[in-house]
């Protein structure tokens, strides 16, 4: 039996949709009432150990979708509890959605690397899917205001990847986990996209002129600080901009195409599609 955690989240929900026709898949979520239909659902709350022992019963393969944004101590505790419960339940294989190697400069990398180390030191067989930053996130980070993209990306580029592609890979790997045992896959886009590229693509997609006039990190931080974001989210977003601008997120060497068996979706198409809605 396969269990997918985070089934009500963006990535977990997409994976669930791809596996909805199978009779050996169950969904895990802290609120089963919000889970998509078509598959059995169990309550799985990383902050409630009792739910993990019950939720993981009878599971052979676990797709451990990262527990999301939080301070390092919170995310580490959640992932640690999930892995410990999986081992106690006798789950033989854990597939974990991590962060690409290029993301080591980001403030949210530590919890991912800790989780990878915990898996290597644990009892279960594992596979690590090192996901690049979503093209959908890039769309959010580069809004067009008065015909301008002012995100502080400098001359940097991001090898953004479509969330749909990452869901396709996760679904393929988790149903054939044994074939991927002990593997760490880098899953980033094949084309690194910069601010000028975005402006040109948005101009073509919308029919309105869009220019790229990068602002500063200080301006971005100030805007985030008054936007209602949680305090931890401000440095997360600012370091994301900074890592892109300084050339740390442009690596395009990837296992994505081989695992998909096709060409990946275009990040620019995802971004322009978001802008046109």
Cβ 39 vs Cβ 47: under 8 Å: no
Instruction: At 262, list the tokens.
Output: 């096709």
Q: Are strands 61-65 and 93-99 parallel, antiparallel or unpaired?
A: parallel
Our measurement of the distance from residue 222's CA atom to the centroid of its chain's CA atoms, rounded to an integer in Å, reads 26
Task: Give the model confidence (pLDDT) of 195-249 as tens digits.
Answer: 999 999 999 998 999 999 999 999 999 999 999 999 999 999 999 999 999 999 9
In a domain? residue 207: no
Task: Give the model confidence (pLDDT) of 94-109 as tens digits.
Answer: 999 999 999 999 999 9
In a domain? residue 155: no
d(CA 131, CA 215): 27
Q: Per-residue pLDDT for 267 more than 70?
A: yes
State the pTM of this model: 0.96
Phi, then psi, of 55 in degrees rounded to 5: -65, -30
Our measurement of the distance from residue 130's CA atom to the centroid of its chain's CA atoms, rounded to an integer in Å, reads 9
Phi-psi region for residue 133, left (φ > 0), alpha (ψ -120 to 50) or beta? Answer: beta
State the pLDDT at residue 78. 96
In a domain? residue 238: no
Q: Per-residue pLDDT for 277 more than 60?
A: no
In a domain? residue 79: yes
Q: Tell me the residue length of the chain.
A: 277
Q: Per-residue pLDDT for 68 more than 80?
A: no
Instruction: At 47, list the tokens.
Output: 């902050």
Task: Give the model confidence (pLDDT) of 138-173 as tens digits.
Answer: 999 999 999 999 999 999 999 999 999 999 999 999
Cβ 149 vs Cβ 199: under 8 Å: yes
In a domain? residue 208: no
DSSP letter at 134 equals B
Give the CATH number for residue 102: 3.40.50.720
Dihedral, 236, 154, 151, 193 alpha carbons, nearest 10? -90
In a domain? residue 146: no
Q: Per-residue pLDDT for 35 more than 90?
A: no
| Residue 107: domain span | 2-132+163-187
More confident residue, 32 or 217: 217
Q: How confident is the model at residue 275 (pLDDT cuts 50, 70, 90)?
A: low
Phi, then psi, of 134 in degrees rounded to 5: -65, 145
Q: Per-residue pLDDT for 276 more than 70?
A: no
Instruction: At 106, list the tokens.
Output: 């980001």
Per the structure, the count of domains in the chain is 1
Q: How confident is the model at residue 32 (pLDDT cuts 50, 70, 90)?
A: confident
State the pLDDT at residue 253. 96
* CA angle centred on 201, ends 195 and 203, rounded to 5°: 105
Q: Look-up: residue for tokens 């006798």?
A: 90
Mean pLDDT of all residues in 44-49? 94
In a domain? residue 30: yes
In a domain? residue 82: yes
């Amino acid at each position: 039996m396969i269990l997918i955690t985070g089934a009500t989240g963006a990535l977990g929900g997409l994976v669930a949709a791809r596996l909805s026709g199978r009779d050996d898949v169950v969904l895990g979520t802290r609120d089963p009432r919000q889970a998509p239909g078509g598959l059995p659902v169990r309550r799985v709350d990383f902050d409630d150990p009792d739910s993990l022992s019950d939720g993981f019963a009878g599971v052979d393969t676990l797709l451990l979708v990262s527990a999301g944004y939080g301070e390092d101590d919170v995310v580490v505790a959640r992932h640690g509890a999930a892995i410990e419960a999986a081992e106690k339940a006798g789950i033989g294989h854990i597939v974990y959605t991590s962060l690409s190697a290029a993301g080591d400069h980001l403030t949210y990398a530590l919890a991912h690397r800790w989780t990878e180390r915990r898996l290597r030191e644990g009892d279960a067989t594992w596979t690590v899917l090192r996901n690049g930053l979503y093209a959908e996130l890039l769309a959010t980070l580069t809004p067009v205001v008065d015909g301008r993209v002012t995100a502080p990306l400098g001359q940097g580029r991001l090898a953004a990847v479509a969330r749909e592609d990452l869901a396709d890979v996760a679904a393929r790997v988790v149903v054939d986990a044994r074939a991927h045992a002990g593997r760490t896959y880098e899953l980033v886009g094949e084309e690194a996209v910069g601010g000028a590229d975005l402006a040109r693509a948005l101009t073509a997609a919308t029919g309105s002129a869009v220019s790229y006039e990068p602002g500063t990190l200080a301006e971005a931080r100030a805007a985030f600080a008054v936007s209602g974001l949680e305090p931890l989210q401000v440095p997360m977003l600012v370091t994301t901009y900074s890592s892109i601008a300084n050339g740390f997120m442009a690596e395009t060497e990837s296992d994505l195409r081989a695992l998909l068996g096709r060409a990946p979706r275009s990040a620019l198409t995802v971004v322009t599609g978001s802008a046109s809605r």
